[in-house]
Structures are given as structure tokens and as C-alpha cells.
């Protein structure tokens, strides 16, 4: 499927930076998303523009953002119009559909972060994680009179680093756990994202909160096919049926201590893998329904999840999207969709800057190379070593806080594309 990267922006005309950033979303909104509202002072195109600007803005509140939009961005909008739009179910669904189209039409054009593992080439692999942010000012309390943080469940593609909002978990006085939301949302999501027959079953990697042996058994028995990798819980008492053999000579399997067939009440036979990190000596135990991958790859995928999940930090910590925008479940979903959309637009802009202008986060790459040498020296001093396969773990070069600040400043000052490219090139080279 063809990419939607910058299809309608003539960069030779030197537009403001915000326009190339938004161009993939604007193109898809105008051509591939249903139910788009095109009339009035706050149509869906302007709503997406303002929503992305708010994610980028560091605004402390809605009124703070609206004042910034009016006085700095020259994007004046009525307070009631903007706040009402956050509670519109149709707009929230438009955002969900827009982000899905953005991911679908750009995935093949991005660098595969798992390229060093050919066994995973056609296997969809996702990290699943919940992220808490502060409640809105007027959020209701729970029955005990305490405020409840807002928590949304996100999926991150480990091949591309692109992000989805899967659904709200809790907020506005409501407590809930992540696994029930995952159970309710994942099958409809897969029917949309992976509807084809004969395709590899998607693989989801999550922390022990996603251990639900009966659910994962049902997923296999009912033919949905989704599989999982997680860590065992300390209170698990599996019955060991057998031990699988593995090729200890393969670098991929370095550190594997055991590959076991195990059983639990009410669940199918699962696989439990014991792994000792050659570098730190720390022992891990993984539980999975995946039977056709090397045990070392199962372990490395979970460890890769930790590395790539750093991308989750971009919306919350680096964009400082750490507080709900409004009260209500629709507003919570709308904000989460916009956070995911903004993250993905930044990933696509980074791709454009690298391909067309040779701009990479050089300071991060240099830091990683130095850390690799330091890790090897430290391990040798302790009589250990860094596993050779570690060098091929997927690397998702993050947009640093410094780079994002430069991008934010360029947008807020209305900087033109050519000038912004040079600013971002300088910001990517070295730390302040």
C-alpha cells in the first residue's frame, strides 16, 4: 500500500513546519476517512490541527492552550467549540480511523526495527502497555473520595514503532484493570488490522498483568490465533510436562537455561523458558503460547519490548502530555487518539528528515556506541560478557527532548521548512 508521506505539500515553496508535519494526516482525512465534517469554523481538519498543536504545546490547561492558539499560532477558536469537540463521539471515531489509516499506509515505508531476525519478517509483533496520566481538574472521585488517574491501553508495533490507542482502562472515578479492556478490544481490533486468512497469528508482548491462561487458550481454540509472551508471576505453580531441546550453539540461544512444556488448570499446554542474562547474571522466566520460535528469540523479544517501549515515553514525558484534558470517557479517548497520532506523525517526520536531508539523532547514536563499549568492559571486569546477539537487538532511535523542543519552538514561531530543517539538523548533532 502506498505511503501517504507529504503527498500534498510542495516543500520547494517553503511552507511553515507545521504543514509538512500534518500533511500525511490531512491527505488521509480528505481521501480515506469516512464521516469527515468539512464545514463550519471548527471542521475536522482544523480540529486535528489544533489537537496536534495542543499535544505539542506544553499547555497547562485547555484555556492556556486556547490563549496560545490565538496569540501565538493565530488559530483563534471559540472556547465552547473546542471543549465541546472533545466530547464528540463522531470526532473521536474519526481520529481512531485516521490513525489506523496512517499506520496502515506508512508501515511498509518505515525501517523494520526487527530486520536482523528473519524469522519475524512476516509476523506481526506488538507491545501492549497501559499508561497513566493525571486526572482532569473537575474529575469525579471514586466511592472512597479519592481521585483516579486516567489510564489508556496502547499497542506499539515493534516492527515500525507506530502507536495505537486501544482503549480507556480507568478514569473519572472509575477503577479497572488492563486485562479486561484488552480482552474486550483485541478481537475487534485484530479483525480490522489482521483480517486475512492464512496470515501469521499476531504476537502480543506484555507484562505479567496480561497473564490470563484461560483467555489465551480460548484465543487459540476459537481460531483467533493471537499469541503472547510475558513473564511468569511468583505465585504460579505450573506442572512441568516435558523439556524441549534447543541448539545451544546458536548465538540466539545464549543464556537459555531451560525450555519447558508446562500446564495449568483450565489452560492449554504452554511454554516456559528460563533465561540468564550473560551480562548481568539476572535470571528471567518467560511464559508463552508461541511454540515455533527459538527459545532465545522469545527471551530477546521480551527484552526488546523494554527497549522499544521507551517510545511510549514520547507522548507522556517528552511532549509532557501528562494530564487529562476534560472529564468523560469520550474526551479521554479523544486525547489518547491525538497523542498516538502526534507520536506517529513525529515518527514519519523523522523518516522524511533522514531520507531527504540525512538528519539522524547523531548524539543518541554516539552515546549508544560509547555505552556498548562501556557495557563490554564492565561485564569483562565481572567475569561475564555481553551476549553477541545483543548487538542486533532492535534499535528505535528516539526523538530526544532537545530535538522535540527545537521542533516545538519552530512550530510555535511559525518557522519555515528550510530554516526548520537546519535548526533540527543542528539539534540532532549534539546535546546542549
Same domain, 182 and 307: yes
Same domain, 17 and 164: no
Q: What is the mean pLDDT of the chain?
A: 88
Same domain, 225 and 272: yes
Same domain, 99 and 160: no
pLDDT over 50 (residue 153): yes
Which DSSP helix (H) or strand (E) runs through 274? Answer: strand 270-276
Residue 383 lies in a domain: no
pTM assigned to the model: 0.92
Q: Residue 15 belongs to what domain range? A: 1-111+325-361+397-432
Same domain, 160 and 22: no
pLDDT over 90 (residue 415): yes
pLDDT over 60 (residue 354): yes
| Contact (Cβ atoms closer than 8 angstroms) between residue 317 and residue 309 | no
Same domain, 294 and 353: no
pLDDT over 90 (residue 194): no
For the chain, the domain total comes to 2
Q: What is the pLDDT of residue 1?
A: 38
Give the model's confidence band at 256: pLDDT under 50 very low, under 70 low, under 90 confident, else very high.
very high
Q: What is the pLDDT of residue 40?
A: 87
Final residue before a domain boundary, out of 318, 353, 374? 318
Q: What is the pLDDT of residue 177?
A: 93
β 150-157/270-276 pair status: unpaired
Mean pLDDT (whole number) for 25-48: 94
Give the model's confidence band at 308: pLDDT under 50 very low, under 70 low, under 90 confident, else very high.
low
* Least confident residue range of 91-100, 118-127, 302-311, 334-343: 302-311
pLDDT over 90 (residue 235): no
Mean pLDDT (whole number) for 342-359: 92
Same domain, 139 and 192: yes
| Contact (Cβ atoms closer than 8 angstroms) between residue 332 and residue 172 | yes
Final residue before a domain boundary, out of 284, 303, 318? 318
Same domain, 183 and 61: no
CA distance 99 to 337: 7
CA distance 14 to 420: 10
Residue 389 lies in a domain: no
Start-end of H helices in 231-390: 295-308, 313, 329-357, 362-381
Per-residue pLDDT tens digits for 362-412: 888 888 889 889 999 999 999 999 888 887 776 655 677 888 899 999 999
pLDDT over 50 (residue 196): yes
Same domain, 131 and 13: no
**Comparison of pLDDT for 197 and 358, the residue scoring more:** 358
Q: What is the pLDDT of residue 290?
A: 92
What share of the chain in percent tops pLDDT 90?
A: 60
Residues 6+ positions from 69 with CB-CB distance below 8 Å: 50, 53, 54, 75, 76, 77
Same domain, 68 and 154: no
Residue 375 lies in a domain: no
Largest CA distance in the chain: 69
Residue 73 lies in a domain: yes
| Contact (Cβ atoms closer than 8 angstroms) between residue 17 and residue 411 | yes
Same domain, 30 and 87: yes
Final residue before a domain boundary, out of 252, 284, 318? 318
Is 330 exposed, middle or buried (CB count within 10 Å of its CB: 0-12, 13-18, 19+)? middle
Per-residue pLDDT tens digits for 173-187: 989 999 999 999 998
Residue 387 lies in a domain: no
Which grid coordinates are listed for 187?
478481537
Mean pLDDT (whole number) for 231-248: 90
Q: How far is CA 387 from the centre of its chain?
A: 27
Q: What is the pLDDT of residue 395?
A: 62
Q: What is the pLDDT of residue 394?
A: 65
pLDDT over 60 (residue 431): yes
Residue 352 lies in a domain: yes
Residue 377 lies in a domain: no
Same domain, 134 and 97: no
CA distance 400 to 422: 17
Phi, psi for residue 100 in degrees, rounded to 5: -60, -45
Tell me the sheet residues that pair with 129: 154
Residue 344 lies in a domain: yes
Give the model's confidence band at 322: pLDDT under 50 very low, under 70 low, under 90 confident, else very high.
confident
Give the model's confidence band at 51: pLDDT under 50 very low, under 70 low, under 90 confident, else very high.
very high
Amino acid at each position: 500500500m502506498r505511503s501517504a508521506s507529504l503527498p500534498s505539500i510542495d516543500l520547494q515553496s517553503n511552507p511553515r513546519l507545521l504543514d509538512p508535519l500534518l500533511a500525511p494526516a490531512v491527505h488521509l482525512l480528505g481521501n480515506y476517512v469516512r464521516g469527515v465534517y468539512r464545514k463550519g469554523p471548527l471542521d475536522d481538519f482544523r480540529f486535528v490541527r489544533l489537537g496536534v498543536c495542543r499535544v505539542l504545546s506544553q499547555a497547562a490547561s485547555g484555556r492556556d492552550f486556547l490563549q496560545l492558539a490565538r496569540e501565538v499560532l493565530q488559530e483563534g477558536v471559540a472556547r465552547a467549540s473546542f471543549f465541546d469537540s472533545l466530547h464528540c463521539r463522531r470526532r473521536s471515531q474519526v481520529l481512531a480511523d485516521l490513525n489506523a489509516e496512517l499506520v496502515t499506509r506508512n508501515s511498509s515505508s518505515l525501517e523494520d526495527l526487527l530486520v536482523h531476525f528473519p524469522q519475524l519478517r512476516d509476523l506481526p509483533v506488538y507491545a501492549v502497555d497501559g499508561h497513566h496520566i493525571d486526572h482532569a481538574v473537575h474529575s469525579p472521585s471514586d466511592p472512597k473520595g479519592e481521585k483516579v488517574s486516567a489510564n489508556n491501553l496502547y499497542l506499539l508495533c515493534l516492527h515500525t514503532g507506530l502507536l495505537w490507542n486501544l482503549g480507556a482502562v480507568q478514569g473519572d472515578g472509575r477503577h479497572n484493570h488492563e486485562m479486561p479492556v484488552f480482552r474486550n478490544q483485541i478481537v475487534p481490533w485484530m479483525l480490522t488490522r489482521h483480517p486475512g486468512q492464512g496470515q501469521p497469528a499476531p504476537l502480543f508482548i506484555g507484562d505479567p498483568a496480561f497473564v490470563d491462561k484461560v483467555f489465551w487458550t480460548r484465543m487459540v481454540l476459537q481460531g483467533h490465533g493471537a499469541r503472547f509472551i510475558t513473564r511468569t508471576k511468583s505465585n504460579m505453580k505450573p506442572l512441568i510436562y516435558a523439556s524441549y531441546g534447543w541448539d545451544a550453539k546458536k548465538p540466539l540461544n545464549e543464556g537459555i537455561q531451560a525450555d519447558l512444556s508446562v500446564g495449568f488448570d483450565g489452560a492449554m499446554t504452554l511454554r516456559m523458558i528460563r533465561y540468564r542474562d550473560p551480562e548481568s547474571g539476572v535470571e528471567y522466566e518467560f511464559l508463552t503460547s508461541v511454540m515455533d520460535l527459538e527459545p532465545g528469540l522469545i527471551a530477546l523479544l521480551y527484552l526488546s519490548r523494554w527497549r522499544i517501549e521507551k517510545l511510549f515515553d514520547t507522548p507522556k514525558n517528552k511532549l509532557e502530555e501528562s494530564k487529562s484534558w476534560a472529564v468523560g470517557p469520550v474526551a479521554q479517548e479523544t486525547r489518547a487518539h491525538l497523542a498516538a497520532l502526534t507520536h506517529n506523525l513525529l515518527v514519519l517526520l523523522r523518516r522524511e528528515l533522514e531520507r531527504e536531508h540525512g538528519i539522524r539523532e547523531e548524539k543518541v547514536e554516539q552515546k549508544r556506541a560509547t555505552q556498548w563499549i562501556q557495557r563490554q568492559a564492565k561485564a569483562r571486569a565481572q567475569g561475564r560478557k555481553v551476549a553477541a546477539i545483543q548487538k542486533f537487538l532492535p534499535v528505535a532511535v528516539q526523538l530526544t527532548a532537545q530535538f522535540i523542543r527545537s521542533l516545538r519552538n519552530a512550530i510555535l514561531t511559525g518557522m519555515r521548512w528550510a530554516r526548520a530543517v537546519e535548526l533540527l539538523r543542528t539539534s540532532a548533532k549534539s546535546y546542549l
